[in-house]
Every structure is written in structure tokens, then in C-alpha cells.
């Protein structure tokens, strides 16, 4: 994508009343760009932005990302209001901490509805326009836990791993249309992510996973002490889009980089360990 320089770029950002999404909206408005900010509560978003931010180029929309019609209407309103769309940021997401067997059916569906179905709804609505104009940038906010999985985070990882697969395929599909795709993989960032307002827990737990309970307690304790600065995180995302330079996956944070490095080494060792056994299932060469 060639980032527009002769007019304000138009951004569509999901999950904006808190955290990284809120910092993105704030910095984009300060740049003079135009932003559609979707949220479950426009009141909370506007209160969080406060009086110090010029909202003339803000279109705040209350959207249930799980609802395809609502998402399509939000993208339509964006192009009607601002005359186009350049950048889509699928940012909305939340954590969920439980052992696999403690994770309820409704909890699984809710997570995948937000982190996979919701993203797909946004893409289905936005891609035809980006494809027709042969320009655009899709940013999908994943996590380093979209690359590596740890005990107690299975459901969150399932959603983010799905987002990674979707994004990698999408990047290859739309490159010829001039559409860029970036997957953002933060480590721990000092947002509301680990507060009880954002983090979900299972309805019931069992006594069989004391290590998971301990991990949950440690993470609630970590709130406010995370390594990553969301102001810098939002700036890094904007910079990646504006310059158009960088790889498909943008890790954010030295913790994320260390986890990803360990995962790549373990995966390489795993792939190497099957080098002799994998070909055994081939049909004989004819
Ligand atoms: N902070 C971290 O440590 C960290 C690490 C790796 C990845 N991430 C990812 O970064 C993204 C932003 O998270 P954050 O750190 O900024 O956390 P946050 O402060 O809790 O903000 C999350 C945002 O996502 C939206 N959201 C949360 N639950 C939702 C739901 N059930 N349905 C729809 N929207 C929902 C909220 O939007 P509204 O309330 O405005 O609707 C909120 O603004 C997420 O995708 C998260 O998975 C965060």
C-alpha cells in the first residue's frame, strides 16, 4: 500500500475504549488522520479520550463485532462519512485463563466469535473496497501467544493461532491487489488487559490445576507492572503502516521477542526430529 500523503488517511479500528485501541485512536487523531472507532460503548470511548483531543475527524460507532450486519453497516458508514477507507486495525480482544477441561462451551464460542468471527466480519466488509482501489493495509492484533502456547491460556491461544493462520493466508491472497497485511504480536503491555474488567475466567474450576490458579493470581498481580508501553505500541503500529516497511509479523516487546525465539527453536527441533519419519507415509514414487 502507498500511504496517502495528500489527504488524511482513513482508519477503521476495533476495540477502542481502552488500552492499545484507545492509544491508537488518540495518536491517529493527533496526526490529523480520520478514524472510525468501533466499541461496545461510545460513551466510554469519548470519556476516555477526554476534552483534550480534537474529535472532528472521529466517527465513534457502537458495534457488536459478532454481528455481520452491524459490522458491514459500520464499514459502509466509514466510506460515506470520510469518502474512503485505507487502514483496518482488528484490535479488539480479551484474555481468558483456565485449564482446557475447565473451559465452558459458551466461553469457547464467545472467544472465537470475537477473535475470529468478528475479524472475519470486518474483513468481508472492508476487503472489496480495498481490492477495488488496489490499496490498503490490514493490521491484525494477535499476540506472542498466537505463536507459542502456555498452560492456562489454551482458549486465548486458540483464538490468536486462528488469527495468525487467517492473516498469513490473507497476506498472500491480497498482495497482488496492493493490500498489505501486518500481524502485531505484543508481549505483556500495560493496558487494562489483565484487569478483571477485561480478563475472563471460567464459571467453575477444579482442584486439579493448582499451577493454573497460581498463574492466574500472578497475572492479576502483574497488572500495572507489565513491560510494554501501549503508547509506544500504538506508535509502532502507526509507523509500520505509514512507512509500509516491515515483515508480516511485528513482535512488540523484548519479552515477546524472547518467547518467539524460543518457539522457533523448539519448532525447528520438532521439524528436524520428524525428518526421517515424515516421508514414511508417502506413496512410493512411480
Ligand atoms: N496487553 C497485553 O498484554 C496484550 C498482549 C498481547 C496481545 N494483546 C492484544 O492486544 C489487543 C488490545 O488489547 P489491550 O491490551 O488494549 O487490552 P484492553 O485494555 O483490555 O482493551 C481491549 C479492547 O478490546 C475490546 N474488547 C474486549 N473484550 C471484548 C469483547 N468481548 N467484545 C468486543 N470487544 C472487546 C475492548 O473494546 P470496547 O470495550 O471498546 O468494546 C477494549 O477496548 C487485544 O487483541 C489483545 O488480545 C494484548
* DSSP 3-state percent helix, strand, coil across the chain (nearest 5): 50, 15, 35
Residues 252, 189 contacting (CB under 8 angstroms): yes
pLDDT of residue 30: 97
pLDDT of residue 212: 98
CA atoms of 282 and 50, how far apart (whole Å): 63
Residues 188, 222 contacting (CB under 8 angstroms): yes
Residue 280 lies in a domain: no
Residue 282 lies in a domain: no
Residue 213 lies in a domain: yes
282 C-alpha to ligand 1 centroid (Å): 44
Model confidence at 246, in pLDDT bands (50, 70, 90)?
very high
The CATH number given to whatever domain includes residue 79 is 3.40.50.720
How many domains does the structure of the chain reveal?
A: 1
176 DSSP 8-state letter: G
Residue 3 lies in a domain: no
Residue 45 CA: nearest ligand 1 atom is 40
Q: Who lines ligand 1 at CB under 6 A?
A: 15-21, 39-40, 65, 91-94, 114, 141, 143, 186, 188-189, 191-193, 198, 226
Question: Coil, strand or helix: which one is 116?
Answer: helix
Give the residue among 73, 95, 86 at the shortest CA–CA distance from 141. Answer: 95
Residue 238, CA atoms < 13 Å, CB-side half-sphere:
23
Q: Where are the beta strands (DSSP E) in 170-226?
A: 179-186
Residues 107, 155 contacting (CB under 8 angstroms): yes
Residues 155, 103 contacting (CB under 8 angstroms): yes
Q: 13, 17, 19: which to mutate for ligand 1, most atoms within 8 A of CB?
A: 19
Residue 203 lies in a domain: yes
pLDDT of residue 138: 98
Residue 286 lies in a domain: no
Residue for grid cell 505509514? 242
Q: What is the pTM of this model?
A: 0.98
Residue 186 CA: nearest ligand 1 atom is 6
Residue for grid cell 488496489? 134
Residue 63 lies in a domain: yes
Give the residue among 17, 241, 230 at the shortest CA–CA distance from 135. Answer: 241
Q: What is the pLDDT of residues 78-132, one digit of tens each?
A: 999 999 999 999 999 999 999 999 999 999 999 999 999 999 999 999 999 999 9
pLDDT of residue 165: 98
pLDDT of residue 8: 95
95 C-alpha to ligand 1 centroid (Å): 8
Residue 37 lies in a domain: yes
CA atoms of 73 and 41, how far apart (whole Å): 17
Residues 37, 11 contacting (CB under 8 angstroms): no
pLDDT of 150 higher than 70: yes
Q: What is the pLDDT of residues 5-48, one digit of tens each?
A: 899 999 999 999 999 999 999 999 999 999 999 999 999 999 99
Model confidence at 1, in pLDDT bands (50, 70, 90)?
low
Q: Which three cell numbers stand for residue 167?
A: 492473516
Full residue range of the structural domain in which residue 180 is found: 10-274
Q: Which among 156, 188, 209, 259 is annotated as catalytic?
A: 156
Q: Which three cell numbers stand for residue 225?
A: 507492572
Amino acid at each position: 500500500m502507498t500511504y496517502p500523503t495528500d489527504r488524511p488517511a482513513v482508519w477503521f479500528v476495533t476495540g477502542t475504549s481502552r488500552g492499545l485501541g484507545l492509544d491508537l485512536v488518540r495518536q491517529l487523531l493527533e496526526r490529523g488522520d480520520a478514524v472510525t472507532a468501533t466499541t461496545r460503548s461510545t460513551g466510554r470511548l469519548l470519556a476516555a479520550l477526554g476534552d483534550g483531543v480534537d474529535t472532528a475527524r472521529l466517527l465513534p460507532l457502537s458495534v457488536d463485532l459478532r454481528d455481520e450486519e452491524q459490522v458491514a453497516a459500520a464499514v459502509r458508514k466509514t466510506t460515506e462519512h470520510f469518502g474512503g477507507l485505507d487502514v483496518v486495525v482488528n484490535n479488539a480482544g480479551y484474555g481468558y485463563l483456565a485449564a482446557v477441561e475447565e473451559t465452558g462451551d459458551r466461553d469457547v464460542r464467545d472467544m472465537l466469535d470475537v477473535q475470529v468471527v468478528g475479524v472475519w466480519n470486518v474483513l468481508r466488509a472492508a476487503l472489496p473496497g480495498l481490492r477495488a482501489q488496489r490499496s490498503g493495509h490490514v493490521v491484525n492484533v494477535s499476540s506472542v501467544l498466537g505463536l507459542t502456547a502456555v498452560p492456562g491460556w489454551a482458549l486465548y491461544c486458540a483464538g490468536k493461532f486462528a488469527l495468525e493462520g487467517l492473516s498469513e493466508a490473507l497476506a498472500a491472497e491480497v498482495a497482488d491487489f496492493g493490500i498489505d497485511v501486518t500481524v502485531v504480536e505484543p508481549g505483556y503491555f500495560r493496558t487494562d488487559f489483565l484487569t478483571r474488567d477485561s480478563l475472563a475466567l471460567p464459571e467453575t474450576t477444579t482442584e486439579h490445576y493448582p499451577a493454573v490458579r497460581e498463574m492466574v493470581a500472578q497475572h492479576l498481580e502483574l497488572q500495572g507492572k507489565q513491560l510494554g508501553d501501549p503508547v509506544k505500541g500504538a506508535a509502532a503500529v502507526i509507523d509500520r503502516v505509514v512507512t509500509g516497511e516491515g515483515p508480516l509479523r511485528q513482535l512488540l516487546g523484548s519479552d515477546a521477542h524472547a518467547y518467539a525465539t524460543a518457539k522457533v527453536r523448539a519448532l525447528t527441533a520438532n521439524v528436524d526430529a520428524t525428518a526421517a519419519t515424515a516421508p514414511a507415509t508417502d506413496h512410493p514414487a512411480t
